[in-house]
Amino acid sequence: MTRQQTHKLAVAVITIVAAIVVIPIILVIGVVFWNGLPALSWEFLTQPPTNGMREGGIMPAILGTVLLTFGTAIASFPLSIAAAIYLAEYAGDTRLTRWVRMAIVNLAGIPSIVYGLFGLGMFVLFFGFGTSIVAGALTLGILTMPVVISTAEEAILSVPQEFRTVSLSLGATKWQTIRHQVLPNAMPGIITGIILGLGRAAGETAPILFTVAAFYLPELPKSIFDQTMALPYHLYVISTQVPGMPLEIQYSTALVLLLIVLSLTLVATLVRTRMRRRREW
Amino acid sequence: MTQPIISIQNLFYTYADGTEALRDINLDVPPNEVFVLFGPARSGKSTLLRLLNRLSDLIEGAQRQGTILFNGGDVFDRRVNVSVLRRRISMVFAIPTPLPGSIYDNLTYGLRMAGLKDRTELDRRATQSLKQAALWDEVKDRLDASAFALSGGQKQRLCIARSLALEPDVILLDNPTSGLDPLSTATVEESLFELKDRYTIIMVPHSVQQAARVADRAAFLLDGELVETGTAGDMFVHPKDQRTEDYITGRFG
């Protein structure tokens, strides 16, 4: 075999293997759409469940997930972005910051059920928030912190060093430089990280299991200290805990959850490409 | 010689890796002249320039001894406000680096960071500095256009204007024509002549030829040491030191 042929063969093999990666995601989305679309209707999206969840819609679960996602945003981002700014701009390389970095990496590796139990102990019981949206949002907030911190730090570090030097040379202070040069230019990356984190939070079941999710609660929450239904947990409940559950309702619920998570990812991608196109350096 | 605006005394500077960048530099810079620091690569010119307005603070682990007096005050004094110092001694870099934003944003950035909000004053400074940097005619109709849309030579004159907008006492130019074509270089050099009435200019030139063209006074640096300093007439016509003469006549470099 000549070198040319070896090259072609290698490219072909790599292409095929790469294509295989796409198959699972197409299958998952395809199966869920195929089975879930028929039962999807306006009523399904806007009505509470009835008859032991075997009929009616999933509106309280959708609303709960939306509320939790917003709450997660509020809980996670100020802290995450402050941490990212600190690590990227101020921390340097000391023993302490190496520990902080290691903690963040490990935080990303903790199983989500452990977050759930931590949330139960910390927010539900110790802080006395009870099983509530606050407790759930805080738990999910901690869960999203590693991904938001690391993407935001990367975005901050990718801002060209010359902008910092020029800004400082014109008499700006370090904080002014961060505020007026670094953060605006890092924003696309930070926003991407935020939305990816939210996408993860919206789909998690275990962390909300003990902290916020209601098994069956057709009324809507009246305050942030109320419980709420949420899509991932609702899906788990109707798939395993309710006998005689119609399959198409399960698939439709999965479809709605999938659409929410996918649309968050899509928004992240759009924001990133749009803002990157506007960037001129 | 008139009272120097900058006086460097017994200055030593060593980088964190042990490289001795400057050794026992003593130098007086008189006001309202073009002062040129020249010498071969790695002779310490840029390092010296960055020490003058303490951009050297950004370099970690370096060691400094000696003093730099600016209008009689030590720039390394703990009580010095570095932001104020950098507005008085302003730097233009070798590679023209506009900040993201419009031409106007760039011109007024330093002033806005200093807390100036008065729109008329910002406009006045922007206009005046563009005229001083010989860029006004080319951009007066598009101050809101992105600074990145300018050509290389225009960008560098914008960077000069951006420093001038601060109305500093001293302008540091670190090889400001390195990336420019001969025509843009000539435009930048011409603007320097106009500026020295109001400013003191300390410049690392692109070449010995440029040094000879623009300098009123010059200092020759070699391996971190000051070999010789004097007026341009003396330095480029009758250098006292053999090494200066060898470098100027192109025997090494």
Q: What is the mean pLDDT of residues B66-71?
A: 95
Give me the interface pTM, i.e. the ipTM.
Answer: 0.92
- pLDDT for B211 equals 92
On chain A, the residues whose CB falls within 8 A of the CB of B49 are none
Give the model's pLDDT for residue A281: 58
Q: What is the DSSP letter of A126?
A: I
Q: How far is A185 from chain B (nearest CA, A)?
A: 8
Taking an 8 Å cut-off on Cβ atoms, the answer to whether A170 and B166 are in contact is: yes
Q: What tens digit of pLDDT does each residue of A137-148 get?
A: 999 999 999 999
- Residue showing tokens 């040379």: A169
- The residue-averaged pLDDT of A206-230 equals 88
> Which residues contact residue A219 at a Cβ distance below 8 angstroms, ignoring those fewer than 6 apart?
A48, A60
* Residue range A52-78: mean pLDDT, rounded: 91
Q: Give the residue carrying structure tokens 């101050």.
A: B143
Average pLDDT over residues B71-83: 94
- Candidates B60, B100, B109; nearest CB to A170: B109
Highest mean pLDDT among A201-210, B116-125, B147-156: B116-125
Task: State chain A's mean pLDDT as an integer.
Answer: 90
pLDDT at A92: 80
Q: How confident is the model at residue A280 (pLDDT cuts 50, 70, 90)?
A: low
User: Going along chain B, which residue ranges are E strands?
Assistant: 6-14, 20-29, 34-38, 63-70, 73-74, 89-92, 170-174, 200-204, 217-222, 225-231
CB pairs under 8 A between A and B: 63
Q: With contact defined as beta carbons under 8 Å apart, do A229 and A216 qualify?
A: yes
pLDDT at B144: 93
Nearest 10 degrees: Cα torsion B217, B223, B227, B229:
10
Distance (Å, rounded) from C-alpha A83 to C-alpha B49?
Answer: 35
Residues paired with residue B90 on neighbouring β-strands, in sequence order: B171
Whether A187 and chain B come into contact, CB under 8 Å, resolves to no
Q: Which residues of B touch A168 (CB under 8 A)?
A: 55, 58, 86
d(CA A175, nearest CA chain B) in Å: 11
Q: Which of A59-68, A90-99, A170-179, B20-29 has the lowest mean pLDDT?
A: A90-99
pLDDT value of residue B253 = 61
Which chain B residues are within 8 Å of A92, Cβ to Cβ? 60
How far separated are the first and last CA of chain A, in Å rounded? 45
Q: Inform me whether the C-beta atom of residue A93 falls under 8 Å from chain B C-beta atoms.
A: no
Q: Which residue among B86, B95, B146 places its CB closest to the CB of A170?
A: B86
How does DSSP assign A222-277, residue by residue?
SSTTS-B--HHHHHHHHHHTSTT--HHHHHHHHHHHHHHHHHHHHHHHHHHHHHHH
Q: Is the pLDDT of residue A91 over 90?
A: no
- Residue A72 φ/ψ, nearest 5 degrees: -60, -45
Residues 6+ apart with CB under 8 A from B97: A162, A163, A165, A166, B159
Query: Can you tell me whether residue A10 is helix, strand or coil?
Result: helix
CA A114 → CA A91, A121, A146, A211, A231, distances in Å? 29, 11, 15, 12, 20
Indicate yes or no: CB of A169 within 8 angstroms of CB of B114.
Answer: no
Whether residues A166 and B93 touch (CB distance < 8 A) is answered with yes
- pLDDT of A178 reads 96
CATH 3.30.360.10 fits A40-278, yes or no: no
List the Cα angle B39/B34/B219 in 5-degree steps.
30
For the cut 60, the answer to whether the pLDDT of residue B1 exceeds it is no
> Rounded to an integer, what is the distance from CA A62 to the centroid of its chain?
16
* Average model confidence (pLDDT) across chain B: 92
**Are A169 and B55 inside 8 Å of each other by CB?**
yes
Partners of B86 on chain A (C-beta within 8 Å) are: 168-171
pLDDT surpasses 70 at A279: no
N residues, chain B: 253
Please name the residue that has the structure tokens 């020490």.
B51
Tell the residue number behind the tokens 């869920």, with chain if given: A32
Instruction: Calculate mean pLDDT across residues B5-9.
Output: 96
Domain spans of chain A?
Answer: 40-278
Q: From chain B, pick out residues whose CB is under 8 angstroms from the CB of A172.
A: 83, 109-110, 113
- The per-residue pLDDT for B196 is 86
State yes or no: pLDDT of A25 exceeds 60. Answer: yes
**Which positions 32-61 of B are in contact with A (Cβ < 8 Å)?**
53, 55, 58, 60
Smallest Cα distance from B23 to chain A, Å: 25
pLDDT of A97 strictly over 80: yes
Tell me, yes or no, if A176 comes closer than 8 A to chain B by beta carbon.
yes
Average pLDDT over residues B182-198: 85
Residue B114 at interface with chain A, using a CB cutoff of 8 Å: yes
Inter-chain touch B100–A169, beta carbons under 8 Å: no
Contact yes or no for B99 and A167 at CB 8 A = yes
B2-5 CB contacts, 8 Å cutoff, 24+ apart: B2/B30, B2/B31, B3/B30, B3/B31, B4/B28, B4/B29, B4/B30, B4/B31, B4/B69, B5/B29, B5/B30, B5/B31, B5/B70, B5/B71, B5/B169, B5/B170, B5/B200
Q: Is the pLDDT of residue A278 over 80?
A: no
Instruction: State the amino acid at position B219 in one-letter form.
Output: A
B132 contacts B125 by C-beta, under 8 angstroms: no
Under DSSP, the state recorded for B147 is G
B20 to chain A, closest Cα gap in Å: 23
Identify whether the C-beta of residue A210 lies closer than 8 Å to the C-beta of residue A117: yes
Geometric angle at alpha carbon B6, from B5 and B9, rounded to 5°: 140
Report the alpha-carbon distance of residue B227 to residue B21 in Å, rounded.
14
pLDDT at A51: 83
